[in-house]
């Protein structure tokens, strides 16, 4: 029998050679696979299909590629597989749940695991967070959080506060709310005017602080930019500010010391809700369960997804501090729905089972402590790349790392993309956003594997044009 991996290779090779729809026999089933029908997300589809990279299995810190190679996962999938891959405890929980209760509605109905995940999450969160709203992704979590913020302001008699504030270079997923408050122009420009009444504070990148280890010491005053927007629009029009505690997707920007504290103070002063988008930063990525704990700054609302199930089944969760739900429920008649919002898959049983098992693994294996323990080694290893060709800046915090390359003149993104494909061919999965490498290994990574990721990048940079 030909191993599945080789078969896959065969399909892909044939398909690419023929470039037409082909029908292949596999395990007695006809499958059609010329790769063209799947409109791939955030992908240069034509480029990918001319030289595809398929992953066919994963275990621990390694993927298996369609051509049968082991590829070290330097990115935890897309910042989500914090417990590594294929943990048998998580796999079994999902299998058992599928066999017991495949689906249950969450509108006017419930199932036990949903309530259990909600209480586990509030117990892990900083004091004061007492409600959890479920969805299936970070994008949905962001749109849910923005709606909760607007509904809350209205409920407390501040209905003129309809303006949402984001930050330049912010990433908040791809819903209309998320791209409106988001600050990445490439994700916005194809879609017209977006939500009305949104504005953005300035980003925190300062090239003068290049090669800082951890948080930059200078720059807390950048938070005062929020007061500029208050002066421009008036506080009475502003409902909420949303920021990533550590900006990930834009290419890893670490908040200066005191910056998030200052944002909190200004929000308090003007009655603006503070939302931390913790889709990447939660669940041990920077040490504790939530980045807010690491920074000692409590937002009013936190969005999460990704690591809550270690990427195994889609789940998003919005955590809300005490008083927000109550404002929408108090004084309402019996039977009134507090928030007219929800998804078919809010608190899906498989996702909840995956979350419970994942949270157990984080606790039983001490993975958050493990991440903290690896931070220094990770910092040393990534900063050892300073001085390699094209390296303009290196940034790190927790198990998040960014390596900013100088773009090739007139060809932005080309150098980054080539480094990505070279590292993949050399057996290491990295992520690039433009010409910035973003690293976020599973919390199960070994020190020697961190070294291998950095050595591979360093070696490829030596010969990269």
Interface residue list for ligand PXG (CB under 6 A): 78-79, 137-139, 142, 171-173, 244, 248-249, 277, 279-280, 305, 431, 433, 438
277 binds, among ligand PLP, ligand PXG, none (CB under 5 to 8 A by kind): ligand PXG
In Å, what is the CA distance from 287 to each residue of 126, 389, 399, 428? 14, 31, 8, 24
Q: How far is the CB of 290 from ligand PXG (least distance, A)?
A: 13
Question: Which residues does 403 contact at the CB level (< 8 Å), separation at least 6?
Answer: 382, 385, 391, 393, 394, 436, 437, 439, 457
Q: How far is the CB of 3 from ligand PXG (least distance, A)?
A: 31
Residues that bind ligand PLP (CB under 6 A): 343-345
- 24 or 343: whose CB is closer to ligand PLP? 343
Q: How far is the CB of 101 from ligand PLP (least distance, A)?
A: 18
| Rounded Cα distance, 233 and 163, in Å | 9
- 94 or 280: whose CB is closer to ligand PXG? 280
- 136 or 440: whose CB is closer to ligand PLP? 136
- 255 or 316: whose CB is closer to ligand PLP? 316
In Å, what is the CA distance from 433 to each residue of 185, 241, 420, 444? 13, 25, 10, 24
295 binds, among ligand PXG, ligand PLP, none (CB under 5 to 8 A by kind): none
225 binds, among ligand PXG, ligand PLP, none (CB under 5 to 8 A by kind): none
- 273 or 305: whose CB is closer to ligand PXG? 305
CB 98 within 8 A of CB 348: no
Q: Collapsing DSSP states into helix, strand and coil, what is residue 100?
A: helix
| Rounded Cα distance, 145 and 139, in Å | 10
- 283 or 345: whose CB is closer to ligand PLP? 345
Find tokens 């690419």 and name the residue: 16
Indicate the residue whose CB is closest to ligand PLP: 344
Q: How far is the CB of 351 from ligand PXG (least distance, A)?
A: 12
137 binds, among ligand PLP, ligand PXG, none (CB under 5 to 8 A by kind): ligand PXG
- 427 or 434: whose CB is closer to ligand PXG? 434
Q: How far is the CB of 136 from ligand PLP (least distance, A)?
A: 8
CB 45 within 8 A of CB 39: yes
249 binds, among ligand PLP, ligand PXG, none (CB under 5 to 8 A by kind): ligand PXG
Residues making up the chain, counted from first to last: 465
In 300-441 the beta strands, taken as DSSP E runs, fall at: 301-304, 316-321, 391-397, 400-405, 428-429, 431-433, 436-439
CB 389 within 8 A of CB 421: no
Angle, to 10 degrees, between the axis of helix 349-364 and the axis of helix 367-383?
Answer: 70
The 8-class DSSP code of residue 235 comes to G
- 345 or 362: whose CB is closer to ligand PLP? 345
Structure tokens at 261: 């504290």
345 binds, among ligand PLP, ligand PXG, none (CB under 5 to 8 A by kind): ligand PLP
Q: Collapsing DSSP states into helix, strand and coil, what is residue 270?
A: helix
The 8-class DSSP code of residue 246 comes to S
343 binds, among ligand PXG, ligand PLP, none (CB under 5 to 8 A by kind): ligand PLP
């Amino acid at each position: 029998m030909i191993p599945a991996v080789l078969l896959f290779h065969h399909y892909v090779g044939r398909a690419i050679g023929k470039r037409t729809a082909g029908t292949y026999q596999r395990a007695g089933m006809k499958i059609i696979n010329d790769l063209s029908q799947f409109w791939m997300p955030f992908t240069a589809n034509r480029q990918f299909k001319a030289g595809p990279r398929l992953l066919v299995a994963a275990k621990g810190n390694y993927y298996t590629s369609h051509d049968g190679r082991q590829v070290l996962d330097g990115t935890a999938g897309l910042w989500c597989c914090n417990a590594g891959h294929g943990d048998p405890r998580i796999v079994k929980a999902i299998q058992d749940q599928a066999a017991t209760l495949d689906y249950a509605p969450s509108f006017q109905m419930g199932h036990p695991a949903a309530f259990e995940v909600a209480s586990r999450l509030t117990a892990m969160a900083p004091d004061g967070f007492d409600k959890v709203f479920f969805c299936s992704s970070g994008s949905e979590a962001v749109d849910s959080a923005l709606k909760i913020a607007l509904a809350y302001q209205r409920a407390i008699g501040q209905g003129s506060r309809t303006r949402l504030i984001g930050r330049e270079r912010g990433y908040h997923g791809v819903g209309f709310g998320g791209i409106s408050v988001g600050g990445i122009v490439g994700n916005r420009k194809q879609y017209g005017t977006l939500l009305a009444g949104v504005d953005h504070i300035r980003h925190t990148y300062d090239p003068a602080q290049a090669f800082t280890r951890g948080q930059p010491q200078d720059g807390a005053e950048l938070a005062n930019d929020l007061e500029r927007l208050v002066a421009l629009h008036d506080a009475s029009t502003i409902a909420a500010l949303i920021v990533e505690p550590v900006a990930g997707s834009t290419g890893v920007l670490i908040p200066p010391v005191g910056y998030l504290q200052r944002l909190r103070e200004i929000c308090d002063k003007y009655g603006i809700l503070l939302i931390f988008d913790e889709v990447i930063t939660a669940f041990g990525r920077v040490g504790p369960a939530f980045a807010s704990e690491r920074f000692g700054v409590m937002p009013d609302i936190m969005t999460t997804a990704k690591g809550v199930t270690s990427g195994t089944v889609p789940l998003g969760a919005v955590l809300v501090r005490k008083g927000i739900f109550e404002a929408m429920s108090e004084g309402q008649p019996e039977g009134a729905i507090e928030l007219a919002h929800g998804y078919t898959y809010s608190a899906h049983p498989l996702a909840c089972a995956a979350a419970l098992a994942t949270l157990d693994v984080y606790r039983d294996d001490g993975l958050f402590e493990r991440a903290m323990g690896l931070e220094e080694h990770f910092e040393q290893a990534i900063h050892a790349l300073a001085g390699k060709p094209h390296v303009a800046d290196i940034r790190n915090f927790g198990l998040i790392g960014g390596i900013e390359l100088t773009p090739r003149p007139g060809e932005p993104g080309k150098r980054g993309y080539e480094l990505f494909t070279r590292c993949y061919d050399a057996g290491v999965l990295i992520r690039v956003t433009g010409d910035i490498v973003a690293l976020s290994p599973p919390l199960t990574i070994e020190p020697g594997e961190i070294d291998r990721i950095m050595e591979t990048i360093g070696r490829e940079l030596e010969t990269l044009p």
